[in-house]
Structure 1
Amino acid sequence: MTETVNVSGAPATRPSTDPRGGLFKVVALAHEVLAGIRPDQYDEVTPCPDYSVRDMANHLVSVLRRVAVLGAGGSFMSVPHFAEDIADGDWAEAWAVSVKEFDAVWSDPAVLGRQIGLPWGPVPGVVASVIYTNEFVLHVWDLAKATGQNPTWDPEMLAAPLANMHRAVPAEPRGGQVPFGPVVEVHEDAPAIDRLVGWYGRRP
Protein backbone atom coordinates (compact mmCIF):
# COMPACT_ATOMS: atom_id res chain seq x y z
CA MET A 1 0.00 0.00 0.00
CA THR A 2 1.10 3.54 -0.67
CA GLU A 3 -0.47 6.75 0.53
CA THR A 4 -0.89 7.98 -3.05
CA VAL A 5 -3.98 5.83 -3.70
CA ASN A 6 -7.15 7.79 -4.38
CA VAL A 7 -9.38 5.13 -2.83
CA SER A 8 -8.20 6.02 0.67
CA GLY A 9 -9.33 9.61 0.38
CA ALA A 10 -12.93 9.52 1.59
CA PRO A 11 -13.73 8.47 5.16
CA ALA A 12 -17.11 6.77 5.43
CA THR A 13 -18.02 8.61 8.58
CA ARG A 14 -17.36 12.18 9.59
CA PRO A 15 -14.06 12.20 11.50
CA SER A 16 -14.19 13.34 15.09
CA THR A 17 -13.45 17.01 15.52
CA ASP A 18 -9.89 16.07 16.49
CA PRO A 19 -8.69 12.56 15.56
CA ARG A 20 -5.00 13.38 16.02
CA GLY A 21 -4.68 11.27 19.17
CA GLY A 22 -4.50 8.08 17.16
CA LEU A 23 -2.03 9.62 14.72
CA PHE A 24 0.35 10.69 17.49
CA LYS A 25 0.13 7.28 19.16
CA VAL A 26 0.94 5.30 16.03
CA VAL A 27 3.83 7.65 15.24
CA ALA A 28 5.23 6.85 18.70
CA LEU A 29 4.67 3.12 18.16
CA ALA A 30 6.48 3.25 14.81
CA HIS A 31 9.63 4.44 16.58
CA GLU A 32 9.54 1.40 18.86
CA VAL A 33 9.11 -1.01 15.95
CA LEU A 34 11.84 0.61 13.88
CA ALA A 35 14.18 0.37 16.87
CA GLY A 36 13.40 -3.35 17.16
CA ILE A 37 14.62 -4.32 13.67
CA ARG A 38 17.70 -6.58 13.70
CA PRO A 39 20.39 -6.44 10.98
CA ASP A 40 19.65 -10.01 9.89
CA GLN A 41 16.08 -8.95 9.07
CA TYR A 42 16.79 -6.10 6.63
CA ASP A 43 16.22 -8.24 3.53
CA GLU A 44 13.19 -10.11 4.83
CA VAL A 45 10.01 -9.68 2.77
CA THR A 46 7.15 -7.84 4.46
CA PRO A 47 3.42 -8.57 3.98
CA CYS A 48 3.67 -5.91 1.24
CA PRO A 49 5.48 -8.32 -1.12
CA ASP A 50 7.27 -5.63 -3.13
CA TYR A 51 8.83 -4.24 0.06
CA SER A 52 11.67 -5.70 2.07
CA VAL A 53 12.06 -4.65 5.70
CA ARG A 54 14.68 -2.15 4.52
CA ASP A 55 12.31 -0.75 1.88
CA MET A 56 9.43 -0.44 4.32
CA ALA A 57 11.56 1.27 6.96
CA ASN A 58 12.80 3.78 4.38
CA HIS A 59 9.26 4.33 3.14
CA LEU A 60 7.86 4.87 6.64
CA VAL A 61 10.40 7.57 7.39
CA SER A 62 9.60 9.21 4.07
CA VAL A 63 5.88 9.18 4.85
CA LEU A 64 6.50 10.85 8.22
CA ARG A 65 8.55 13.55 6.53
CA ARG A 66 5.84 13.98 3.90
CA VAL A 67 3.07 14.32 6.48
CA ALA A 68 5.04 17.10 8.17
CA VAL A 69 5.56 18.89 4.85
CA LEU A 70 1.91 18.51 3.86
CA GLY A 71 0.66 19.75 7.20
CA ALA A 72 2.75 22.89 6.76
CA GLY A 73 1.19 23.51 3.34
CA GLY A 74 3.98 21.98 1.24
CA SER A 75 3.88 19.77 -1.83
CA PHE A 76 3.29 16.02 -1.75
CA MET A 77 5.80 15.50 -4.57
CA SER A 78 8.57 17.37 -2.75
CA VAL A 79 9.30 14.30 -0.61
CA PRO A 80 10.56 11.09 -2.29
CA HIS A 81 8.77 7.79 -1.85
CA PHE A 82 11.76 6.29 -0.03
CA ALA A 83 14.14 8.02 2.38
CA GLU A 84 17.28 6.85 0.62
CA ASP A 85 19.54 9.10 2.70
CA ILE A 86 19.29 6.81 5.73
CA ALA A 87 21.93 4.17 6.38
CA ASP A 88 20.79 0.67 7.28
CA GLY A 89 19.91 0.48 10.94
CA ASP A 90 19.55 4.24 11.42
CA TRP A 91 15.79 4.35 10.88
CA ALA A 92 14.81 4.86 14.52
CA GLU A 93 17.26 7.73 14.85
CA ALA A 94 16.00 9.32 11.62
CA TRP A 95 12.43 8.85 12.85
CA ALA A 96 13.17 10.65 16.10
CA VAL A 97 14.62 13.59 14.17
CA SER A 98 11.64 13.75 11.80
CA VAL A 99 9.14 13.51 14.66
CA LYS A 100 10.28 16.93 15.89
CA GLU A 101 9.13 18.57 12.65
CA PHE A 102 5.97 16.46 12.57
CA ASP A 103 5.08 17.44 16.13
CA ALA A 104 5.73 21.12 15.45
CA VAL A 105 3.22 21.07 12.59
CA TRP A 106 0.56 18.64 13.76
CA SER A 107 0.43 19.78 17.40
CA ASP A 108 -1.14 23.02 16.19
CA PRO A 109 -4.95 22.61 16.14
CA ALA A 110 -5.08 24.91 13.10
CA VAL A 111 -3.80 22.03 10.97
CA LEU A 112 -7.21 20.35 11.25
CA GLY A 113 -8.84 23.01 9.09
CA ARG A 114 -5.94 23.45 6.70
CA GLN A 115 -6.28 22.08 3.16
CA ILE A 116 -3.80 19.23 2.69
CA GLY A 117 -2.73 18.76 -0.93
CA LEU A 118 -2.98 15.04 -1.72
CA PRO A 119 -2.45 13.70 -5.27
CA TRP A 120 -6.18 13.27 -5.92
CA GLY A 121 -7.09 16.67 -4.51
CA PRO A 122 -7.06 18.68 -1.30
CA VAL A 123 -8.66 17.37 1.90
CA PRO A 124 -9.03 19.06 5.28
CA GLY A 125 -6.39 18.28 7.84
CA VAL A 126 -8.93 16.43 9.95
CA VAL A 127 -9.45 13.97 7.08
CA ALA A 128 -5.74 13.73 6.28
CA SER A 129 -5.12 12.82 9.90
CA VAL A 130 -7.33 9.73 9.53
CA ILE A 131 -5.81 8.78 6.16
CA TYR A 132 -2.28 8.88 7.52
CA THR A 133 -3.18 7.14 10.77
CA ASN A 134 -4.37 4.26 8.60
CA GLU A 135 -1.22 4.43 6.47
CA PHE A 136 1.06 4.29 9.48
CA VAL A 137 -0.90 1.52 11.22
CA LEU A 138 -0.74 -0.76 8.18
CA HIS A 139 2.94 -0.24 7.53
CA VAL A 140 3.95 -0.48 11.19
CA TRP A 141 2.06 -3.77 11.26
CA ASP A 142 3.88 -4.87 8.09
CA LEU A 143 7.23 -4.19 9.74
CA ALA A 144 6.25 -5.78 13.04
CA LYS A 145 4.96 -8.90 11.29
CA ALA A 146 8.10 -9.26 9.17
CA THR A 147 10.42 -8.82 12.15
CA GLY A 148 8.59 -10.93 14.72
CA GLN A 149 7.49 -8.04 16.91
CA ASN A 150 4.20 -7.94 18.78
CA PRO A 151 3.44 -4.32 19.63
CA THR A 152 0.45 -3.16 21.65
CA TRP A 153 -2.20 -1.56 19.45
CA ASP A 154 -3.89 1.22 21.38
CA PRO A 155 -7.63 1.31 20.52
CA GLU A 156 -7.36 5.02 19.70
CA MET A 157 -4.95 4.22 16.85
CA LEU A 158 -7.43 1.84 15.26
CA ALA A 159 -10.78 3.53 15.88
CA ALA A 160 -10.88 5.89 12.89
CA PRO A 161 -9.24 3.46 10.41
CA LEU A 162 -11.71 0.73 11.39
CA ALA A 163 -14.68 3.09 11.12
CA ASN A 164 -13.67 4.13 7.61
CA MET A 165 -12.05 1.08 6.03
CA HIS A 166 -15.07 -0.18 4.06
CA ARG A 167 -15.56 3.14 2.29
CA ALA A 168 -11.87 3.94 1.98
CA VAL A 169 -11.16 0.68 0.13
CA PRO A 170 -14.26 -1.30 -0.92
CA ALA A 171 -14.06 -5.09 -1.05
CA GLU A 172 -14.15 -4.95 -4.85
CA PRO A 173 -12.32 -4.30 -7.05
CA ARG A 174 -8.85 -5.17 -5.83
CA GLY A 175 -5.64 -5.15 -7.84
CA GLY A 176 -4.50 -2.80 -10.60
CA GLN A 177 -5.16 0.75 -9.47
CA VAL A 178 -6.23 -0.59 -6.06
CA PRO A 179 -2.98 -2.05 -4.72
CA PHE A 180 -4.46 -4.42 -2.16
CA GLY A 181 -5.11 -8.14 -2.27
CA PRO A 182 -8.53 -9.68 -1.70
CA VAL A 183 -10.05 -9.25 1.73
CA VAL A 184 -8.78 -11.85 4.19
CA GLU A 185 -11.74 -12.99 6.25
CA VAL A 186 -11.20 -12.94 10.00
CA HIS A 187 -13.59 -13.78 12.81
CA GLU A 188 -15.83 -10.90 13.86
CA ASP A 189 -14.48 -11.28 17.39
CA ALA A 190 -10.86 -11.11 16.23
CA PRO A 191 -8.63 -8.34 17.61
CA ALA A 192 -9.23 -4.97 15.98
CA ILE A 193 -5.79 -4.92 14.34
CA ASP A 194 -6.49 -8.31 12.70
CA ARG A 195 -9.80 -7.08 11.32
CA LEU A 196 -8.17 -3.97 9.94
CA VAL A 197 -5.20 -5.62 8.23
CA GLY A 198 -7.41 -8.44 6.94
CA TRP A 199 -9.61 -5.90 5.16
CA TYR A 200 -6.50 -4.55 3.44
CA GLY A 201 -5.52 -7.99 2.18
CA ARG A 202 -3.00 -8.91 4.86
CA ARG A 203 -3.11 -12.27 6.62
CA PRO A 204 -3.00 -11.69 10.40
Structure 2
Amino acid sequence: MVAQGCDAEAAARGGDIPHDHLFKVTGLSSNNLQKLAQDTAPVVSDFEAAIAATQYGRFNILLLACSLPAFWSAVSVTSSVSYIFTRAKCDMNLSLLDMGTVTAITYAGMIMSAMIWGFLSDTLGRRYIMVWGFLGAGVLEVAAALSQSFAMLLVTRFFCGFLFNGPFAVLLSYIAELHRTEHRARALLLTSMFYTLANTTLPLLAWAFLTHPEWDVELFGGQIGEF
Protein backbone atom coordinates (compact mmCIF):
# COMPACT_ATOMS: atom_id res chain seq x y z
CA MET A 1 0.00 0.00 0.00
CA VAL A 2 2.84 2.35 0.80
CA ALA A 3 4.52 1.58 -2.53
CA GLN A 4 1.30 2.15 -4.46
CA GLY A 5 0.76 5.45 -2.70
CA CYS A 6 4.26 6.53 -3.58
CA ASP A 7 3.77 5.56 -7.23
CA ALA A 8 0.49 7.48 -7.43
CA GLU A 9 2.07 10.48 -5.83
CA ALA A 10 5.03 10.23 -8.21
CA ALA A 11 2.71 10.01 -11.20
CA ALA A 12 0.80 13.05 -9.97
CA ARG A 13 4.05 14.90 -9.57
CA GLY A 14 5.52 13.76 -12.92
CA GLY A 15 7.16 17.09 -13.45
CA ASP A 16 8.99 16.89 -10.10
CA ILE A 17 11.08 13.80 -11.02
CA PRO A 18 14.77 14.82 -10.92
CA HIS A 19 16.68 14.98 -14.18
CA ASP A 20 19.45 12.75 -12.87
CA HIS A 21 16.92 10.02 -12.02
CA LEU A 22 15.43 10.13 -15.55
CA PHE A 23 18.90 9.92 -17.02
CA LYS A 24 19.78 6.87 -14.92
CA VAL A 25 16.58 5.04 -15.87
CA THR A 26 16.30 5.94 -19.57
CA GLY A 27 19.65 7.37 -20.49
CA LEU A 28 17.89 10.53 -21.70
CA SER A 29 17.24 13.85 -20.05
CA SER A 30 13.71 15.13 -19.63
CA ASN A 31 14.10 17.53 -22.56
CA ASN A 32 15.25 14.71 -24.83
CA LEU A 33 12.33 12.54 -23.69
CA GLN A 34 9.84 15.25 -24.53
CA LYS A 35 11.43 15.79 -27.95
CA LEU A 36 11.39 12.05 -28.63
CA ALA A 37 7.71 11.85 -27.70
CA GLN A 38 6.90 14.69 -30.09
CA ASP A 39 8.90 13.14 -32.94
CA THR A 40 7.31 9.69 -32.63
CA ALA A 41 3.74 10.93 -32.27
CA PRO A 42 1.68 9.60 -35.23
CA VAL A 43 0.27 12.16 -37.63
CA VAL A 44 -3.39 11.35 -38.20
CA SER A 45 -5.03 12.60 -41.40
CA ASP A 46 -8.18 11.60 -43.25
CA PHE A 47 -8.35 10.49 -46.88
CA GLU A 48 -9.55 13.83 -48.24
CA ALA A 49 -6.66 15.69 -46.60
CA ALA A 50 -4.17 13.19 -48.03
CA ILE A 51 -5.58 13.54 -51.56
CA ALA A 52 -5.61 17.34 -51.24
CA ALA A 53 -1.93 17.26 -50.24
CA THR A 54 -1.03 15.53 -53.53
CA GLN A 55 -2.61 18.46 -55.44
CA TYR A 56 -3.38 18.22 -59.17
CA GLY A 57 -0.73 17.28 -61.68
CA ARG A 58 0.44 15.08 -64.52
CA PHE A 59 -0.90 11.89 -62.97
CA ASN A 60 -4.46 13.23 -62.96
CA ILE A 61 -4.20 14.35 -66.58
CA LEU A 62 -2.84 10.97 -67.68
CA LEU A 63 -5.56 9.20 -65.72
CA LEU A 64 -8.28 11.10 -67.56
CA ALA A 65 -6.56 10.51 -70.90
CA CYS A 66 -6.35 6.78 -70.25
CA SER A 67 -10.04 6.67 -69.37
CA LEU A 68 -11.09 7.85 -72.84
CA PRO A 69 -10.65 4.40 -74.50
CA ALA A 70 -12.69 2.91 -71.68
CA PHE A 71 -15.64 5.13 -72.60
CA TRP A 72 -15.27 4.11 -76.24
CA SER A 73 -15.45 0.52 -75.05
CA ALA A 74 -18.57 1.30 -73.01
CA VAL A 75 -20.37 2.61 -76.06
CA SER A 76 -19.18 -0.35 -78.13
CA VAL A 77 -20.38 -2.91 -75.60
CA THR A 78 -23.82 -1.38 -75.16
CA SER A 79 -24.60 0.04 -78.60
CA SER A 80 -22.59 -1.74 -81.29
CA VAL A 81 -25.18 -4.49 -81.86
CA SER A 82 -27.68 -1.95 -83.15
CA TYR A 83 -25.34 -1.19 -86.06
CA ILE A 84 -24.58 -4.79 -87.05
CA PHE A 85 -28.19 -5.97 -87.26
CA THR A 86 -28.50 -4.78 -90.86
CA ARG A 87 -25.92 -7.39 -91.85
CA ALA A 88 -26.36 -9.97 -89.09
CA LYS A 89 -30.06 -10.52 -89.66
CA CYS A 90 -29.30 -11.61 -93.23
CA ASP A 91 -26.16 -13.64 -92.46
CA MET A 92 -27.67 -15.45 -89.44
CA ASN A 93 -31.37 -15.26 -90.38
CA LEU A 94 -32.21 -13.39 -87.18
CA SER A 95 -35.81 -12.72 -86.28
CA LEU A 96 -37.09 -9.68 -84.43
CA LEU A 97 -37.07 -11.69 -81.20
CA ASP A 98 -33.47 -12.80 -81.79
CA MET A 99 -32.30 -9.23 -82.31
CA GLY A 100 -34.07 -8.08 -79.15
CA THR A 101 -32.49 -10.97 -77.22
CA VAL A 102 -28.99 -10.08 -78.40
CA THR A 103 -29.53 -6.47 -77.35
CA ALA A 104 -30.84 -7.40 -73.91
CA ILE A 105 -28.36 -10.17 -73.15
CA THR A 106 -25.52 -7.67 -72.67
CA TYR A 107 -27.43 -5.84 -69.95
CA ALA A 108 -28.37 -9.17 -68.38
CA GLY A 109 -24.68 -9.94 -68.00
CA MET A 110 -24.11 -6.54 -66.39
CA ILE A 111 -26.92 -7.03 -63.90
CA MET A 112 -25.82 -10.53 -62.93
CA SER A 113 -22.23 -9.44 -62.28
CA ALA A 114 -22.90 -6.30 -60.25
CA MET A 115 -22.59 -7.85 -56.78
CA ILE A 116 -19.63 -10.00 -57.79
CA TRP A 117 -17.58 -7.07 -59.06
CA GLY A 118 -18.34 -5.03 -55.95
CA PHE A 119 -16.85 -7.77 -53.79
CA LEU A 120 -13.85 -8.42 -56.03
CA SER A 121 -12.91 -4.74 -56.36
CA ASP A 122 -12.69 -4.38 -52.58
CA THR A 123 -10.84 -7.68 -52.22
CA LEU A 124 -8.38 -7.71 -55.12
CA GLY A 125 -7.97 -3.97 -55.66
CA ARG A 126 -9.34 -1.54 -58.21
CA ARG A 127 -6.33 -1.45 -60.53
CA TYR A 128 -6.19 -5.24 -60.81
CA ILE A 129 -9.89 -5.40 -61.71
CA MET A 130 -9.59 -2.65 -64.32
CA VAL A 131 -6.57 -4.12 -66.10
CA TRP A 132 -7.77 -7.70 -66.38
CA GLY A 133 -11.45 -6.85 -66.71
CA PHE A 134 -10.99 -4.51 -69.66
CA LEU A 135 -8.57 -6.96 -71.27
CA GLY A 136 -11.02 -9.84 -70.97
CA ALA A 137 -13.90 -7.72 -72.25
CA GLY A 138 -11.80 -6.67 -75.25
CA VAL A 139 -10.99 -10.28 -76.13
CA LEU A 140 -14.68 -11.19 -75.97
CA GLU A 141 -15.58 -8.19 -78.13
CA VAL A 142 -13.26 -9.54 -80.82
CA ALA A 143 -14.84 -12.99 -80.44
CA ALA A 144 -18.30 -11.46 -80.77
CA ALA A 145 -17.23 -9.68 -83.96
CA LEU A 146 -16.13 -13.05 -85.39
CA SER A 147 -19.35 -14.86 -84.47
CA GLN A 148 -20.60 -17.27 -87.12
CA SER A 149 -23.86 -18.29 -85.45
CA PHE A 150 -26.61 -16.83 -83.31
CA ALA A 151 -25.60 -18.98 -80.30
CA MET A 152 -22.00 -17.78 -80.44
CA LEU A 153 -23.10 -14.18 -80.76
CA LEU A 154 -25.47 -14.55 -77.81
CA VAL A 155 -22.87 -16.13 -75.52
CA THR A 156 -20.10 -13.66 -76.36
CA ARG A 157 -22.41 -10.66 -75.91
CA PHE A 158 -23.50 -11.94 -72.50
CA PHE A 159 -19.94 -12.35 -71.23
CA CYS A 160 -18.95 -9.00 -72.73
CA GLY A 161 -21.48 -7.33 -70.46
CA PHE A 162 -20.51 -9.61 -67.58
CA LEU A 163 -16.81 -8.70 -67.74
CA PHE A 164 -17.17 -5.06 -68.71
CA ASN A 165 -19.58 -3.94 -65.99
CA GLY A 166 -17.15 -4.25 -63.09
CA PRO A 167 -14.07 -2.52 -64.54
CA PHE A 168 -16.09 0.39 -65.89
CA ALA A 169 -17.86 0.99 -62.56
CA VAL A 170 -14.51 0.73 -60.75
CA LEU A 171 -13.00 3.25 -63.20
CA LEU A 172 -15.56 5.91 -62.28
CA SER A 173 -14.92 5.35 -58.58
CA TYR A 174 -11.18 5.39 -59.20
CA ILE A 175 -11.34 8.74 -60.99
CA ALA A 176 -13.50 10.28 -58.27
CA GLU A 177 -11.30 9.04 -55.43
CA LEU A 178 -8.04 10.31 -56.93
CA HIS A 179 -9.28 13.88 -57.32
CA ARG A 180 -9.71 16.17 -54.35
CA THR A 181 -13.02 17.83 -53.61
CA GLU A 182 -12.31 20.96 -55.64
CA HIS A 183 -11.59 18.99 -58.83
CA ARG A 184 -13.84 15.94 -58.39
CA ALA A 185 -16.95 17.41 -59.98
CA ARG A 186 -14.95 18.76 -62.93
CA ALA A 187 -13.29 15.38 -63.51
CA LEU A 188 -16.62 13.56 -63.57
CA LEU A 189 -18.06 16.23 -65.86
CA LEU A 190 -15.13 15.68 -68.22
CA THR A 191 -15.76 11.93 -68.26
CA SER A 192 -19.35 12.67 -69.28
CA MET A 193 -17.94 14.60 -72.23
CA PHE A 194 -15.82 11.56 -73.08
CA TYR A 195 -18.96 9.43 -73.18
CA THR A 196 -20.65 11.92 -75.51
CA LEU A 197 -17.59 11.94 -77.76
CA ALA A 198 -17.61 8.16 -77.87
CA ASN A 199 -21.27 8.18 -78.87
CA THR A 200 -20.42 10.32 -81.88
CA THR A 201 -17.44 8.25 -83.03
CA LEU A 202 -19.26 4.90 -83.09
CA PRO A 203 -21.76 5.94 -85.82
CA LEU A 204 -18.88 7.34 -87.84
CA LEU A 205 -17.03 4.03 -87.62
CA ALA A 206 -20.19 2.15 -88.58
CA TRP A 207 -20.68 4.44 -91.56
CA ALA A 208 -17.06 4.01 -92.66
CA PHE A 209 -17.10 0.20 -92.54
CA LEU A 210 -20.65 -0.98 -93.06
CA THR A 211 -21.48 1.16 -96.08
CA HIS A 212 -18.86 -0.62 -98.18
CA PRO A 213 -20.24 -3.84 -99.70
CA GLU A 214 -16.95 -5.75 -99.69
CA TRP A 215 -13.65 -5.63 -97.84
CA ASP A 216 -10.57 -7.45 -99.11
CA VAL A 217 -7.74 -7.89 -96.63
CA GLU A 218 -4.29 -8.96 -97.78
CA LEU A 219 -1.48 -10.07 -95.51
CA PHE A 220 2.02 -11.04 -96.64
CA GLY A 221 0.95 -10.81 -100.26
CA GLY A 222 -2.02 -13.19 -100.01
CA GLN A 223 -5.72 -12.54 -99.63
CA ILE A 224 -6.93 -13.75 -96.24
CA GLY A 225 -10.47 -12.53 -96.12
CA GLU A 226 -13.36 -10.93 -97.88
CA PHE A 227 -16.07 -9.06 -96.00
TM-score, normalised to structure 1's length? 0.28
- Relative contact order (C-alpha < 8 Å, sep 6+): which is higher? 1
Q: Which has the larger radius of gyration?
A: 2
